[in-house]
Structure formats: C-alpha cells, structure tokens
C-alpha cells in the first residue's frame, strides 16, 4: 500500500470525493511510491509545487533527485527525459502549460516516437500538463495540442474527462513502455461538478478503450475531456423532449477506439462529434472518415461536428465564449440530426 502522505499534499481520505487535480496528484504519488524508477521533471514543480500545485509536497517526500526543477527549455528537458528513459528510468515530464510543448515537438516526433522503430529501444516517458480554454488565458495558455501529435506513429495520446479515469489512465501511462502525451483540461482541475470518490485499491484503466458515459438510442455523441460534461448537459436538455443521447467518452485518442464508436453508431444511426479543438484538422474528421469506411450502411443522416472555430484562442472573455463549443451548440446540432 502507498505510504500515507502528509496533509499538505493532494491526497484524499477514504470515501472523500477527489477533484480532478487531486486524482492526477495521487496517481503520480502512488507510482513514485510503487516504482523508484519513476521521477518528475518540469518548471517550478519542486519547492513551488507546480503552477497548479499538482506536485505540492512531492519534493519533501521524494527529494530533488526525483522531483527535478528544470530551466525554461522544454526541448532540452524533454530530450534529457528521453535519455533517462533509455537508461531504464520512467520520467514524467510536466509542461507548465501544454501550449509550450511546441519547442519539444522535434525531440518528441523525430526522436522519441521513432526510437523503438530505429532499434534504439522503448522510451517509457509521459509528457503531461494542462490544456484547454474557458479560463481567459488567451492564445498561449489555452490550446488543445492533441492533433499536433495525432499524426505521429509511436506516440499515444490520452485525454480524460473525470477524476477516476484521470488517475487510472495516468497510472497506466506511466507503466506503459511507449511515450504518452497526457492532456488534462485545466477547467476540470477543481471544478465542483467534477469530483468522484476514487477506488481505494491500486487500479489502472487500460489505454485505448473508450467508455459509454451515457446510454441512449436516438443519437451518438463522441467526445472527450471537458466536452463530455458539455455533452451531458446537452443530453439532459434533449431528454426533456424525449431524445435519448448516447455519449462515448474516447479517453484515449491514440490509439483510437473506433470499435466503440461503430458499435454505438449501429445502434443509433446518427453521429455527432464534439471537441474543443479547432475545426480544421481536428479529430472529428478522422472519426468521420473511419465511420464512413466501416459503418456507412448504418448511417441515417450526415456525420456532424461541433468544435471550436478556426482561430487562435481569444483573450476577450466574450470572444472566447463565442469561440468555444457551447451546450446550446451541441443541442442545436443534435436536434438537427435527430430530425433529419
């Protein structure tokens, strides 16, 4: 069993509902207790405890050799983590905001993702950090970066929507021998509606498997992250008119659980894809073509998508609200499909 943490770290008591942020913190703590090869790297994660306090108290427990404050050099410390992984360690790299992963794009795509294919061995490495808008952070602190890496064979991409999945998926990611991009929507970190009592045992959730967040029969919504909650709110509104929506939470984007989507689509005949990422080049296009290829005969209407618009994330609050997909956007698209 993991060592009992002091009260100033992000650990919940048995039976207490955990926030999304606490679930992430618990996963990191427990994996560091379980496996001495696991260590953390990132900007201000040690004495300061991280920009969002995910690693608060970790330095006191695990020391500076396993909780490493880095310079502001994302490409440099991600490359250093890759070297450590080659030597048998299991680094977890925090991007203070995932927008800043771009300097590490070269080492992630050209080196880390191809390592196993070049005979250099696996690189068990996790790059994790906050993503997403709605917090008035502007274009440098609000992006969703999944599609920048979706095209890269050799990487895995995880994007959970709730505390239980966040903890179980992060633990699986740390134990996985492939490099993982792990996205955490900052709008869920401390959201009152996003709290759960976590299982007391050492549980993991396998990568690459979606979950059915809501059972329905008239329409399938495929989504992930914060948009799962927006879709659930939309489904509640639609239910008042007798429209029963099925919601598939992808959880892992790469590999993509297209079988779960196809099974739901065969039941409902209608498919709506919702994501916060921008429209052009978003994952909705990939899901749509895959369902067109394998489930076309089950479609009773066009495949539609609700996404952010093709723009950098605005600074203005009013413009950001317009930019992001809303519950009403989902409701409107769903009604159109159901009536098609």
Is residue 135 packed enough to be buried (19+ CB in 10 Å), middle (13-18) or exposed (0-12)?
middle
Segment holding 90, helix H or strand E: strand 90-94
- The CA-to-CA distance between both ends of the chain, in Å, stands at 54
Sign of CA dihedral 130, 255, 218, 274: positive
Q: How far is CA 317 from CA 143, 186, 338, in A?
A: 15, 16, 32
Q: Is 193 exposed, middle or buried (0-12, 13-18, 19+ CB in 10 A)?
A: exposed
Cβ within 8 Å of residue 332, ≥6 positions away: none
* Cβ-proximal residues to 147 (8 Å cutoff; 6+ apart), any chain: 277, 281, 282, 283
In whole angstroms, give the CA distance from residue 65 to residue 76: 18
Q: Which residues pair with 93 in a beta bridge?
A: 41, 127
> Which residues are CB-contacts of 339 (< 8 A; sequence separation ≥ 6)?
none
Strands 245-249 and 211-214: antiparallel
Given the structure tokens 């005969």, which residue do they identify? 297
Strand pairing of 195-197 and 17-19?
Answer: antiparallel
Q: In the annotation, is 229 catalytic? A: no
Exposure of 243 in the CB half-sphere (CA atoms within 13 A)? 22
Residues 130, 131, 135, 140, CA torsion sign: positive
Catalytic residue among 8, 86, 141, 185: 141
Q: Which residues are catalytic?
A: 141
């Amino acid at each position: 069993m993991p060592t009992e943490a002091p009260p100033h770290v992000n650990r919940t008591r048995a039976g207490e509902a955990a926030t999304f942020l606490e679930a992430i913190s618990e996963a990191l703590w427990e994996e560091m207790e379980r496996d001495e090869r696991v260590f953390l790297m990132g900007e201000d994660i040690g004495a300061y405890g991280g920009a969002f306090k995910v690693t608060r108290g970790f330095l006191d427990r695990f020391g500076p050799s396993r909780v490493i404050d880095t310079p502001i050099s994302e490409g440099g410390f991600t490359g250093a983590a890759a070297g450590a992984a080659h030597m048998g360690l299991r680094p977890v790299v925090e991007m203070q905001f995932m927008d800043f992963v771009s300097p590490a794009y070269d080492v992630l795509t050209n080196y880390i993702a191809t390592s196993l294919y070049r005979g250099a061995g696996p690189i068990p490495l996790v790059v994790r950090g906050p993503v997403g808008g709605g917090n008035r952070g502007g274009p440098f602190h609000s992006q969703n970066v999944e599609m920048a890496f979706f095209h890269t064979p050799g990487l895995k991409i995880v994007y959970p929507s709730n505390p239980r999945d966040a903890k179980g998926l992060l633990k699986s990611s740390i134990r996985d021998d492939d490099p993982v991009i792990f996205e955490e929507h900052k709008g869920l970190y401390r959201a009152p509606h996003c709290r759960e009592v976590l299982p007391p045992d050492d549980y993991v959730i396998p990568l690459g498997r979606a979950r059915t967040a809501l059972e329905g029969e008239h329409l399938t919504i495929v989504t992930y992250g914060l948009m799962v909650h927006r879709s659930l709110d939309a489904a509640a509104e639609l239910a008042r008119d007798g429209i029963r929506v099925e919601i598939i939470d992808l959880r892992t984007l790469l590999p993509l659980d297209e079988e779960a989507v196809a099974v739901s689509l065969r039941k409902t005949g209608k498919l709506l894809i919702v994501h916060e990422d921008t429209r052009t080049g978003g994952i909705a296009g990939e899901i749509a073509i895959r369902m067109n290829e394998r489930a076309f005969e089950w479609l009773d209407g066009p495949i539609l998508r609700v996404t952010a618009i093709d723009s950098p994330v605005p600074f203005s609050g009013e413009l950001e609200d317009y930019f992001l997909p809303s519950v009403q956007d989902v409701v409107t698209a769903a009604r159109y499909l159901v009536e098609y």
